[in-house]
Amino acid sequence: MEENLKQQPSNCLKVVLFGPESTGKTTLSRQLARHYNSVWVPEYAREYLQNKWNNERKTCESEDLLTIAIGQMKLENELATKTNSILICDTDLLETKVYSEAFYGGICDPVLKKYALENTYDLYFLTYIDTPWEADDLRDRPEQRMEMFKAFQDELIKNNRTFVLLKGSKKERLEMAVKHIDKLLLKNKGNVF
């Protein structure tokens, strides 16, 4: 099982959209992939949990998290082979770790935690809660958006992850993200990843 959570070597820069639900991560992931003519890794948990809800009328349970993490890494590792420039990740295992600890009494499976901390990315974009809340079958806790934002921000700081806070309109967020990715690409131009 551990091998399924391990990030495979790749020849691309990896950028993660990171933050609470309903903060524009998927929209921005798609925009960035389109802008850079690259690929994006969707959030596996959305499909997995929507299917669970549709078939069982159940929401996420702690025992789902390892399956979700394995599915996420499988997607990321597969899609990383389809680009040699930049991979836009709608989420990562560190996000799963934050949700695990927030929703299940501060507990995270040790194997999930290990790979959440070991897998590496070149840049994180922390999405702020200044976007309108959009309810769906899976989203909950709209009244705790600031608390969840703080948990995500604290996790990045605690683990010394390079990140940029994104606020404002969709256009402003895209422009800010592009500016930082362009700097990263320029810095790494000519380097072997």
SS3 2: helix
For the chain, the maximum distance between any two Cα atoms, rounded to a whole number of angstroms, is: 51
Tell me what pLDDT residue 97 has: 97
- Tell me which amino acid residue 57 is: R
Element (H, E) at 55: helix 44-56
Tell me what pLDDT residue 192 has: 45
Rounded to whole angstroms, the Cα distance separating 7 from 101 reads 22
Tell me what pLDDT residue 142 has: 67
Tell me what pLDDT residue 138 has: 56
Looking at the DSSP assignment, which residues form a beta bridge with residue 123?
A: 15
pLDDT tens, 16-60? 999 998 899 999 999 999 999 999 999 998 888 888 888 988 888
Nearest of 81, 79, 83, 103 to residue 91 by alpha carbon:
79
Tell me what pLDDT residue 98 has: 96
Nearest of 68, 35, 11, 71 to residue 180 by alpha carbon:
35
Nearest of 95, 70, 118 to residue 17 by alpha carbon:
95
Task: Decide: 29 and 90 in contact? Cβ < 8 Å.
Answer: yes
What is the length of the chain? 193
Tell me what pLDDT residue 139 has: 59
Specify the fold of 2-188: Rossmann fold (3.40.50)
Rounded to whole angstroms, the Cα distance separating 129 from 126 reads 10
Q: pTM for the whole thing?
A: 0.91
All residue ranges of the chain with pLDDT < 70 are 1, 135-142, 190-193
Task: Decide: 112 and 66 in contact? Cβ < 8 Å.
Answer: yes
Tell me what pLDDT residue 57 has: 87
69-to-11, 23, 35, 43, 147 alpha-carbon distances in Å: 22, 21, 27, 10, 23
Distance of CA 95 to the CA centre of its chain: 6
Rounded to whole angstroms, the Cα distance separating 183 from 124 reads 14
